[in-house]
Amino acid sequence: MHERRTIVVPIDYTPAGSAALAWAVERAEEQDCDVLAVHALERSSTVDARLERDLPGAREQACSRAHAWVIDVLGDRPATDVRVRIVTRAGSVRQVLPVAADRAEIVVLGTSDTAGPLVGSLRSRLACPVVCVDDDGAAHDPASRLLTAE
């Protein structure tokens, strides 16, 4: 069976994360790819007793929130044939993203205060290019070379 090409976007609920998802969908339309939105359900270093007691419930809540966010971000856009899949995985984004992006065409990150360190830690673990997208939808490679000015 033919495996569809995929663009991977971590879910981070920031304006830049929203712009990254929209940018990924636009590229997926142009390149006939799917989009995989990845939510990392990070457990903090401090014990969260409620989370530990009901990890399946916490995962279900996180999944519902991720779906709502994707619908909110893409809801006002024109209809598209791009398939956007959403996955929620337990772990930090640094742990979850490389696994999810194993065969990805590209990983698209929203530029935020944490994007720089994240790109640095992911660069050696990903076989695909990484693009950072600003709040306004401008995409840059990790070395800040402008890719588009939309």
The domain made up of 6-148 has a fold known as: Rossmann fold (3.40.50)
Q: What is the pLDDT of residue 8?
A: 95
pLDDT at 147 over 50: no
115-123 vs 93-100: helix axis angle to the nearest 10? 50
51: tokens are 């989370």
- Provide CB contacts within 8 A for 11, sequence distance 6+: 17, 21, 37, 38, 39, 40, 66, 69, 70, 86
Q: What pTM does this model have? A: 0.82
- Provide CB contacts within 8 A for 127, sequence distance 6+: 102
Residue-wise pLDDT tens digits, 37-79:
999 887 654 455 555 667 777 778 888 899 999 999 998 878 7
pLDDT at 12 over 60: yes
Which stretches of 1-150 are assigned E, i.e. beta strand? 6-10, 34-41, 84-90, 106-110, 130-133, 139-140, 146-148
55-74 vs 15-31: helix axis angle to the nearest 10? 70
Q: What is the pLDDT of residue 24?
A: 95
Domain ranges of the chain: 6-148
148 near 142, Cβ under 8 Å? Answer: no
Q: What is the pLDDT of residue 144?
A: 46
Residue-wise pLDDT tens digits, 90-138:
888 888 889 999 889 999 998 865 556 677 777 778 888 888 898 888 8
Question: Where do we find the tokens 């939309």?
Answer: 150
